[in-house]
Structure 1
C-alpha cells in the first residue's frame, strides 16, 4: 500500500494548524474582541496628519481621507466620548475638502477654460 501526502488534511482543508488560514489564530480572535481593524489612536494620528497635509497638497484627496479616519476613530457614532484628535481630523478634513472644492470651482471660472 502506498502512503500519499496530505491525506489527513484533505478532509479538513481549513484546519487550525495552517498558519495562513487565520482559523483559530489568537491574533484574529483578539482583534475580534477589540473591534477589529486598526487601532483608534492610529486612525486619529493618520487623520490629523492627512488633514494638516491636505492644506498644502491634494486637499481634495486628503480631506476625505482625514474625515474617514476621524469618523472611524470616533467609533462610527456621534454619541459617547469622542477623542479630541478624532474630532480635529474630522473637522479639518471637512475644511480641506470644502476649500479644495471652492478652489477647483474658482479655477474653472471664466478665462481658464479650453475654449
Structure 2
C-alpha cells in the first residue's frame, strides 16, 4: 500500500497529525476520504496493517452509526463491516497514516510518530 493519510480537513486531530508528518518532511498522499472513499479491499489492508478488526476502525459514537441501525454486537462479519465503512466513509476513524508498510490511527495525533 502506498504512503498516505486518510484525512478530513475539518477535523482538528486530522489536521494536527498531518502537520506532524509534514513538519518531518515526510511525503504522503493526502486522501480526503470523504471525497475519495477507500474501497473495502483498501480498508481491509489498512486493518491488517493496524492489526485490528474493521469494527475497531469504526466511529461507533458517530450519530450515523445509530441512524443506520448498527450495533457493535449485531453479528456482522468483517466483510460486512468493511462494506459499511466503504459505503459510509464518515464512520472511518481518522486520521489514519500508512507509511512504509505500517499504519497508525492519529488519536491522539502523536500516535503517527510511532511509525515514522
Shorter-chain TM band: under 0.3
> What is the TM-score when the length of structure 2 is the normalising length?
0.22
| Bigger RCO of structures 1 and 2 (CA < 8 A, at least 6 apart) | 2
Greater strand percent: which structure? 2
Rg larger in 1 or in 2?
A: 1
Greater helix percent: which structure? 1
> What is the TM-score when the length of structure 1 is the normalising length?
0.22
